[in-house]
Chains A and B, each alone.
Chain A
C-alpha cells in the first residue's frame, strides 16, 4: 500500500483528494498547512506528496525547501497541485525538484490518479506495484 501525503489549506480540496486516493486504496494522510505537513512527516514517510501552493504562513515553496532539507524526505516525489497558474509560479517551480506541476481544475479524479501512479511507476496492467 502506498502512502500519500496531501498538503492543502482548503478543506474541500483535502476531502476531495483524500476520497479519491482512499477509494484507490492509498493510505492517505492529510495536512491543512505546511507546518502540519512537516509535523506529519516526522512520524511517517510518504511515497508521494500532493502539495498545494497558496497556503497561509508557509507557502508550498517554503514547504518544499524544508522538505528537501530533511534527509529521509529529500527524495520523496512531489506533485504540485494548484489552481494558481501564473507565469511567476511557472518560473519558480523550475527552481524546485518537483515531479509534476498540475492545475487542479484541469484534472478529473481519474486523471489525477493516473498522474500519481505514473510518478510512482505503477502501471494499470501491472498487479505488483513498484515503489517509486
Chain B
C-alpha cells in the first residue's frame, strides 16, 4: 500500500515537473516551492511508512532519483544557482541513502544532511525568502518527527528483543531441566515419532547396551539388537494399538533387559513412543538364584524322604514274604536310616545357613592354634584318607599360627575343605599348608583331585553350587552344595576370607582361608 502511494506520488511529481517546464518563466518560484513541499512530504511519509532502516534507505534512494529526474526538466527554465543547491541536497540524500544500514545511521545522516542544507541555503540566500522559511519549517518537522518516531521504533525493537531473550532463556532452562530429568533416568530413555525418527534421547546406549553411538531411527535401534529381539515390531504394535508394552526379560548379549514401550500423547494424538531400556541383569539373576534355591532345596529334601518312604514301604509290604530275605531288609533299613541322617544334616545346614546369613550366629572367640587344630582334624580323617589310598601331611611355614576365633567354627571350615578334597580325590595326597599372609595366617588345603574347570570356578561359593552352573548336572551325591558358601559366611564373619587358590582340571585344587594372626 505504502509502495503504491509512493509510486503514484513520484509519478505525479515527474508529471508536475514536466507540466510546469512547458509553462512561461514567470511562474518559476511557485513551482519550486511546490516541488520542495511535495518532496518534503514524500520524505516524511516514507519515514513513517518504512518498517526498517534498510527499507527507508531504499525509498530515499528512490525518491532522490526521481527528484533529480524531475528537476533536470527545469534546468532550462529556472535559475541555475537554485538548481545547484537543490541538486546538492538530492545528491547528498542519494549518497547517504546507499550507506544507511541501521536506524542509528539514519538518524545521524538525516541530521548531517539537513544541517548541511541549512548552512548552504542560509549562505546562498542571506536575506532569506519566505520560500526558504517555509521549507525550513517542513524540514524541522521532519527532523523532530524522525527522531521521535525512530526513538519509539528503537524502544519497540528493544522490547521485542528482550521478550525474545526472556523466552529463549526460559526455553533453555526448560531444556536443561528436561535433559537433567531424562539424564537421571536409570537406563535408556528415547522417544521415537510415528515415522520412526528419534525425537529425544538421554544417550545411555554405552552404559546399557555397550555401544558408543546413538541410533537416530527405530531401524538403527533394531540393528543393535539384530535378530535377537524385535524392537521395531513391538514399537509398531505399541503405536498402532496405542498401548503400553512391557518386556521384562529380554536377553541381550550376557545381559537381561527390561524394555518398555509407552505411547506419548500431545493434545490427544500420539506424537511418539517412549522406549525405556533398563539393565535388569542383577534382578534377573537374583530371581533365578532364588528360584534355583527352592528347586534344589526341595529336591534335596525330597530325595532322602523318597528313600525313607520307599524302603519302609517295601519292608512293611514284604516283611513276611519270600521275596525279601533278611539281608535285603537290613539293607533297606540301613538306607532309610542313612537317608534320615542325610535329611537331618541337610536341615542343620539350612538352619546354619539361614542364621549365618542373618548374622544371628554368636562366635565364641578364643585363641586357636591352626597347626594343632589341623593335626586333630587330619587324625580324625586319617582312616578315611588312607582307605582311599591317599596320603596326607601338614606343613607349617608360619611363626605365628594362632588366630582369635571360634574354634568349633574354624574346625567346621577346615573339615569342609578336607572333606571336599577327600570327595574329589582318587589318588595322590591331601596336604595342609599354614603360612603367613600379611597380618593374617593362611591355611591352604591342597589336593591332587579332579580339579575345577575355569568356567565353573566363579560359581564355587554360590549357594548349592558344586562348581556347575547347570542345575540339571548338579552332583547331588556328594553333599548339599552349601559347604563352601557356609564356610565363607563363617570366616568372613570372623574378619577373614575363604577363596580358591588355584585349580587345574586333572591336577587338583587348593582352597584356603585366612584369619588375622594373634600373638
Contacts and interface: CB of A to CB of B under 8 A. Distances in A.
B473 A57 contact: yes
Contacts of B296: 84
Nearest to B292: A86
A64 to B, nearest CB: 11
Interface string B224-252: 00000000000000000000000000000
Contact of B313 (A54, A82, A104, A108): A108
Interface string A91-109: 0000000000001110011
Chain B interface size range: 35 or more
Nearest to A19: B314
B282 interface: no
Given A83-B302, A104-B306, A56 B475 contact: yes
A105 B309 contact: yes
A10 B303 contact: yes
B473 A105 contact: no
A20 B291 contact: no
Contact of B473 (A56, A103, A109): A56
B475 A16 contact: no
B187 interface: no
Given A10-B477, A105-B309, A109-B314, A59 B472 contact: yes
Contacts of A110: 313, 317
Nearest to B310: A16
B472 to A, nearest CB: 4
- The prevalent SS among residues of B at the interface is helix
Given A20-B314, A23-B314, A86 B474 contact: no
B299 interface: yes
Contacts of B473: 54-59, 62
B305 A105 contact: yes
A115 interface: no
Greatest chain B CB density within 10 A among A16, A23, A61, A85 is at A16
A37 interface: no
Nearest to A17: B310
A36 to B, nearest CB: 13
B352 interface: no
Greatest chain B CB density within 10 A among A10, A12, A23, A61 is at A12
A120 interface: no
A53 interface: yes
16 contacts: A9-B475, A9-B476, A12-B338, A19-B314, A20-B314, A23-B318, A23-B324, A55-B473, A83-B302, A83-B303, A84-B296, A85-B299, A105-B309, A108-B309, A108-B310, A109-B313
